[in-house]
């Protein structure tokens, strides 16, 4: 029975990846449709003698060119479908994680595969919540799903391990609190990282089909900041819980183990980001760079420290 459940969990994981890919494709379509709609409008206006709109060009030229109604605009429709698929993907993803836990009969965060999967889910859920609050940022979805999919791909291939039990040090209820909150905050922090990158690109003032559909630079900046101020306290909490657990499991609450050290470094860089946001002259560009640096440190901690440096945290299960 558990073996079967584990198999279903893997299938759901795969299904979630496929659905996320589809969502990305639709988001991509959202960008390209916008361009073709605009092109159609220009063609329609220029060549009045043409016999009607071309069949696959979506709405008639007049409609597309003037104020496009939200219903009719194909870009809008694609975008909405992309979001719907993202929700579906998140549902499948969650089911995959839950089944994995049932199959292994423990909290499903015992190795890097499970951990990375959880980070991805956290990122997607964070993104969906953000989207509810500011629907206008929807086109950013493409760029949120991109790192999520890369991580999912790595999780499903390089990091994958079959469902199984964990070593004694991990058999503690602290695992569920510490690792879940760390994964959740890491996932959450992925979103501001993406927003800050887009912000820096948008700020250059360049214009093309993709950039023009993104929210304004200041909206992206706000997106990054607002998410960080939720994720940062959560991350702080997760580190504190980790220290409490380390006190029980390893004999000291803080020992500068490589994983702890880099977590500390990331924390300090995020603190620097918050400071930069409150320091004249650093508030915009520099702050965004610091935010990107911080998320880079988080990812570095996830992969490099787990896989290359040996430490107490090396529970990756990568043998």
Sites of contact with ligand HEM (CB under 6 A): 268, 271, 274-275, 278
Cβ neighbours, 10 Å, residue 201: 16
Torsion angles phi and psi, residue 61, rounded to 5:
-55, -45
Contact with another protein (CB under 8 A) among 120, 124, 276, 295: 276
Nearest to ligand HEM of 153, 264 (CB atom): 264
Q: Which does 55 bind (CB under 5 to 8 A by kind): another protein, ligand HEM, none?
A: none
Residues 29/85, Cβ–Cβ less than 8 Å: no
Could you tell me the smallest distance in angstroms from the CB atom of residue 234 to ligand HEM? 13
Nearest to ligand HEM of 13, 273 (CB atom): 273
Binding to another protein by residue 275, rule CB under 8 A? yes
Binding to another protein by residue 114, rule CB under 8 A? no
Binding to another protein by residue 268, rule CB under 8 A? yes
Could you tell me the smallest distance in angstroms from the CB atom of residue 278 to ligand HEM? 3
Residues 313/306, Cβ–Cβ less than 8 Å: yes
What's the number of CA atoms in the CB half-sphere (13 Å) around residue 65? 12
Q: In angstroms, rounded to a whole number, what is the distance separating the alpha carbons of residues 256 and 60?
A: 64
**Look-up of token digits 């996320």:** 20
What's the number of CA atoms in the CB half-sphere (13 Å) around residue 218? 0
State the residues that interact with another protein by CB under 8 A: 164-165, 167-169, 171-172, 174, 218, 222, 225-226, 229, 232-233, 236-237, 240, 243-245, 247-259, 261-262, 264-265, 268-269, 271-272, 274-282, 297, 305, 309-311
């Amino acid at each position: 029975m558990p073996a079967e459940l584990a198999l279903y969990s893997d299938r759901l994981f795969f299904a979630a990846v496929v659905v996320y890919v589809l969502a990305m494709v639709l988001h991509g379509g959202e960008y390209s449709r916008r361009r073709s709609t605009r092109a159609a409008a220009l063609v329609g206006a220029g060549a009045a003698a043409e016999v009607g709109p071309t069949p696959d060009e979506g709405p008639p030229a007049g409609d597309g060119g003037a104020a496009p109604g939200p219903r009719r605009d194909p870009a809008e429709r694609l975008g909405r479908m992309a979001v719907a698929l993202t929700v579906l993907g998140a549902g499948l993803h969650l089911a995959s994680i839950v089944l994995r836990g049932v199959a292994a009969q423990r909290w499903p965060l015992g190795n890097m595969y499970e951990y990375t999967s959880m980070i991805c889910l956290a990122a997607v859920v964070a993104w969906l919540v953000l989207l509810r609050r500011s629907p206008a940022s929807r086109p950013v979805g493409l760029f949120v799903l991109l790192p999520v999919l890369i991580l999912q791909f790595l999780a499903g291939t390089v990091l994958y391990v079959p469902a199984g039990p964990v070593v004694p040090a991990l058999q503690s209820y602290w695992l569920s609190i510490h690792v879940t909150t760390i994964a959740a905050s890491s996932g959450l922090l992925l979103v501001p990282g993406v927003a800050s990158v887009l912000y820096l690109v948008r700020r250059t003032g360049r214009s093309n089909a993709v950039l023009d559909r993104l929210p304004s630079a200041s909206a992206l900046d706000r997106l990054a900041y607002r998410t960080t101020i939720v994720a940062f306290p959560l991350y702080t909490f997760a580190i504190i819980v980790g220290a409490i657990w380390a006190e029980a499991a390893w004999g000291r609450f803080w020992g500068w183990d490589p994983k702890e050290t880099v977590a500390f470094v990331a924390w300090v860089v995020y603190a620097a980001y918050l400071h930069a946001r409150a320091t004249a002259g650093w508030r915009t560009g520099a702050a965004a760079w610091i935010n990107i640096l911080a998320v880079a440190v988080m990812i570095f901690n996830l992969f490099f420290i787990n896989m290359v440096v040996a430490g107490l945290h090396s529970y990756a299960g990568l043998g």
